[in-house]
Every structure is written in C-alpha cells, then in structure tokens.
Amino acid sequence: MTADLVGARRWIRRGQILTALGLLGLALVYVLALRYTSVERFQGLPQKIFYVHVPAAWSALLSFSLVGITSILYLWLRDPRLDRFADSCAAVGLVFSMVMLTTGPLWARPVWNTWWTWDARLTFTLILFFLFLGYRALRGAIQDPGERARFSAVLGILGMVLVPFVHLTVYLFRTLHPQPIVLKPSAPSLPGDMLRTLLISVGVYTILLIGFVVMRYGVAARESLETSDAG
C-alpha cells in the first residue's frame, strides 16, 4: 500500500468524523431553534427558517470563495492537490446552495407572499449556482487532467468574483431581501437568544462544510490513485 493511499484514507476518516459531528450538531441546532429560541413577533414560526437558511448561504459563499482562492494558487503552483481541493469545495458549495435556494422560497412564501422574485440578490445567487453547476459540467467534459484543471481554475476564479457582489446586492439595488443583520459594520441587530442560535448554527454548518470537503477530497484522491494504477 502506497503512502499516498494511506494519506487518502486518513483524509476520508477525518472527514467522516467531522461530518458525523456536524450532523449531530445540526440536530442540536433544530432543538435549540424550535424549543429554546423565541418566536419572532411579526413573522411567527417561518422566521425560524433563518437558522438553516443564513448558515447555508454562509457555507455556500465560503465554499465558492475557497474554489477561487485555490484556483489562483493552482494556476501559480500547478499542484494537482489544489485542483482536487477546488473541485471538492465546488461540489460542497453546490450542496449548500441547494439548501439556500430551497429554504429561501419556503421562507419567502409566507412572509413576502411569493415563492420567488427576480430581484438582484436572488437572481445573482441563482446565477452563481448555475455558474458552479457549469464548473462541474466542464470538469466532467474534459479528459486531460492538466487542461481540465487549467480551464476550471479560470471559471472558479470568475465565480469567486461574483461572491462579494452577491453579498453587496442588498446595498446596491432596491430589493425585497433583508440587509445583513450580523455581517455588517455596526453591531448585530438581533435579540440575544436568536443571535446565539444563529452563531451556533453557523459553527455547525462550518464543521459540516469542512467534513464534507475533507471527505470529498480524500475520496477524489483515492479514486485518482486507483485510476493511475489501472492505467
């Protein structure tokens, strides 16, 4: 057994432990949000979707930013591990985007009286999702590993450029989407128990993100070794 294979298995094991911890944490967030966090006066129960929607947005945007950063590093250093890491972050970012794009309309329907509106924040988020779907499709379409890594790195960097723009859309355009209440220059405008649940949820999602990326990276590393052995 080669050292590389042992290393890949170690990444998978670490990812499994972190993911299991993250899933337990998600159960804890559900209990905290439903049982120990107050109900918002004007929106009622649907406001509690906040505790799964906002951390999903945070995780998706963080994953896509990591794709861009590691893509820049790949173009500089040409290390295939960076390309594999960027691919893992893109796949995981798409999973969190799916949570964001499904829980958002479920929150919007009772509060805005519509499932979807084509305003700047929502539209740019959807474009970002499709851009990274394209990133994954592009990788699947190119056989040569070097070419695949180079082309997808360029697309990954372009995707990262959209991330701060998505965050700032609520300031730049008139939109139904609320402005940030935690990630803003002034202090968070949220009651203490709601802020506590939100921050715990963001922490849990971040653990899940790391667990997913590490496990996905380990699996990809092992599959790449198996492919090169077979060839």
Partner 1 sequence: MQVDPSANAGYLTAAYIVTALILGGYALVLFRRGRRR
What are the residues binding partner 1 (CB under 8 A)? 12, 15-16, 19, 22-23, 26, 30, 34, 39, 41-46, 48-49, 52-53, 56, 92, 95, 98-99, 102-103, 106-107, 109-110, 208, 211-212, 215-216, 218-219
Among residues 156 and 211, whose Cβ is nearest to partner 1? 211
Q: How far is the CB of 74 from partner 1 (least distance, A)?
A: 23
Among residues 45 and 133, whose Cβ is nearest to partner 1? 45
Q: How far is the CB of 75 from partner 1 (least distance, A)?
A: 28
Torsion of CA 196, 198, 204, 205, to 10 degrees: -160
The CA distance from 22 to 4, in Å, is: 27
> Residues of 138-168 as b/e, b for ≥16 C-beta within 10 angstroms?
ebeeeeeeeebbbbbbebbbebbebbeebee
Among residues 125 and 157, whose Cβ is nearest to partner 1? 125
Q: How far is CA 140 from CA 147, 148, 151, in A?
A: 12, 9, 12
Among residues 26 and 75, whose Cβ is nearest to partner 1? 26
Q: How far is the CB of 157 from partner 1 (least distance, A)?
A: 25
